[in-house]
Structure 1
Amino acid sequence: MTEADANTQAGEAQQQFIIQKVYLRDASLEIPNAPGIFRSEWRPQVNVELNTEHQALDESAYEVIVTITVTTKLDSKTAYLCEVHLAGIFIIVGFDTRTLDGLLGSYCPTILFPYAREAISDLSNRAGFPGIVLAPVNFDVLYAQKQAEQQQRQASEPQ
């Protein structure tokens, strides 16, 4: 019997992180000003919104969703609006609450983001527009900012 087997039998949970599934949960593309928008000079203003969320599916499985919304305009007219919800199911076992929160809030979105970025680029390209390449995102920084905001809110709440 190995030491790991002995530890598991003794009741100590081993740490596991498994990517069970990565999938496109939802995607939409709107071109409200077609076909006229295709006759305009292509000098877009691009707005990108990013959001992450997660939920427990059971005691060890979690769904994490990265949502990216890209709104591209030419002057005041919307060229296209593209939104992608890229999700993953992750099996996460044996981590303390703080580490689990970090995995769900930062590490998992970091894994999913390249798939979401590719889906956005592909959809915009298939719609007849130049493919958009979104810049990399540092989810560690975003997670740290979110944690700091939560701590600030808790500190300012009356006891």
Structure 2
Amino acid sequence: MTDTSAPGNPNPPQDPNGEKPAAPIMRVLGQYVKDLSFENPGHAPVQSQPNIDLGIDVGAAPHADGNGLYEVSLKLSAKALADGKVMFISELDYAGLFQLQNVAQEQLEPMLLIEAPRLLFPFARRIIAEITREGGFPPLLIDPVDFVALYQAQVRRANAAGTPTQQ
């Protein structure tokens, strides 16, 4: 007999009357900054509006403790260029520890690479805004991110390279 109540079990348990599976559960157990850097090589008045190069990457991996635990990492990078000079470079690796229960295998990857970063994003966005403001620039307010489109692009790249999408 298989224990279907184990966290992260791909075969979710049935409710007591056996009609429908139990609802998937995602718990955020913790959030933390894994890495943060801010470089300010060109803090000088500029005459033009800076161009911001923004990079976003999402990765997920099972946690060493198991039990349906996963670490999801949201990496944000921003580089401001004005008048041909680098004004600032900011990089943030913000992560969360998530516990998943009653999640079917086909739902696991979308939950980790869409829903989890969607929960982490507002906190990471705030950190980037604060670090750029503290660096002497107007706060960099990153627009909301479509994590579904980001996931779909990541799946296409992984399929083209023949690798799994979870990193």
Establish whether TM, by shorter chain, passes 0.5: yes
Aligned to 1:88: 96
Moved more, 73-82 or 138-147: 138-147
> CA 1:79–1:19 in 2, change beyond 3 Å: closer, same or farther?
same
Structure 1 distance, partners of 2:96, 2:72, is 5
Q: Partner of 1:38: helix, strand, or coil?
A: coil
Q: CA deviation at 1:75?
A: 1.7
Quote the RMSD (CA, aligned, Å).
2.0
1:134 corresponds to 2:142: yes
1:22 counterpart = 2:31 = yes
* 2:54 equivalent to 1:53: no
SS in 2 for 1:55: strand
Identity score, percent: 22
Deviations for 1:27-73, whole angstroms, at most 9, x for unmatched residues?
1000113xxx3233352111001101111011311000100000001
Deviation of the 1:26 alpha carbon:
1.3
Give the superposition deviation at 1:150.
3.6
Q: State the structure with more CA Rg.
A: 1
SS at 1:147 equivalent: helix
SS at match of 1:133: coil
Gaps (5+ residues) in structure 2? Answer: 6-11, 15-21, 163-167
The match for 2:50 is 44
Equivalent in the alignment of 1:103: 111
2: CA distance, partners of 1:17 / 1:48? 28
Change (3 A) 1:18 1:131: same
TM-score, L = length of structure 1:
0.81
Contact 2:46–2:83 (CA under 8 A) maintained in structure 1: no
Provide the rounded CA distance (Å) in 2 between the counterparts of 1:97 and 1:54: 15
Q: Which residue does 1:12 correspond to in 2?
A: 13
* TM-score for the superposition, normalised by structure 2: 0.77
For 2:36, the aligned partner's letter is: A
